Chain A
Amino acid sequence: AQSVTQLGSHVSVSEGALVLLRCNYSSSVPPYLFWYVQYPNQGLQLLLKYTTGATLVKGINGFEAEFKKSETSFHLTKPSAHMSDAAEYFCAVSEGSSASKIIFGSGTRLSIRS
């Protein structure tokens, strides 16, 4: 069965600094990988996804993530943090195209210091 581990339940960075949120996955088949963002009192929305092809994927709001099979990782980065990036971020995995559901990680809360 697939699983997701997000390292660090809370990450704090200064405005303008690099954002790095870590995600490692476990899957018995080539995975599909996702990052979702949740702003306070809202539902989740998709930031970016990896299915096949290019391993560096770009998403909304300047975020990107790189699929590294050898490291079973899918870390989320943004070169320069903005105050509006403060939110909860969830990494998720599904077992490729044959699976209908996705499994979410425990989430990482990102805080931005001014």
Chain B
Amino acid sequence: DAGVIQSPRHEVTEMGQEVTLRCKPISGHDYLFWYRQTMMRGLELLIYFNNNVPIDDSGMPEDRFSAKMPNASFSTLKIQPSEPRDSAVYFCASRRSPGWEQYFGPGTRLTVT
């Protein structure tokens, strides 16, 4: 299996621009998680889906952030408009219930100038 795939691996954008991060989970996995990692705040869960349905988005920082999962093989995290404080590494992870191991993608390093 190819593992969790994220694109792009690096994104540099200017403040105010829209940013879209993409994730392809491992085939057959029914849970998908979006995390943000920064030096200051560590690893934060933003939102997670079960069978393509958002279950808990309490970690989404504000209305500028949105996430979708139109089908079992694709999810997006969108930031609009982006701000410098959104600079972080964003990880996508997936797992297959009833197992507990989450498989992480390589992450997208976002820099907002």
A32 to B95, CA, bound (A): 15
Contact A43 B91 (CB under 8 A): yes
Interface of B: prevailing SS: strand
Interface size on B, residues (CB 8 A): 20
Interface membership of chain A positions 33-49, coded 1 if the CB is closer than 8 angstroms to chain B and 0 otherwise = 01000000111111001
Contact B106 A100 (CB under 8 A): no
Instruction: Using A43-B91, A46-B101 as known contacts, say yes or no to A101 and B106 having CB atoms under 8 A apart.
Output: no
Asked whether A77 is an interface residue with its Cβ less than 8 Å from the other chain, the reply is no
Other A-B contacts than A44-B43, A44-B102, A104-B43, 11 sampled, CB-CB below 8 A, are: A43-B107, A44-B91, A44-B104, A46-B102, A49-B100, A90-B43, A100-B56, A101-B33, A103-B45, A104-B42, A107-B43
Residues of A within 8 A of B25 (CB): none
Binding site for B on A (CB under 8 A): 32, 34, 41-46, 49, 51, 90, 94, 100-107
Contact A43 B4 (CB under 8 A): yes
* Closest-CB distance, B45 to chain A (whole angstroms): 6
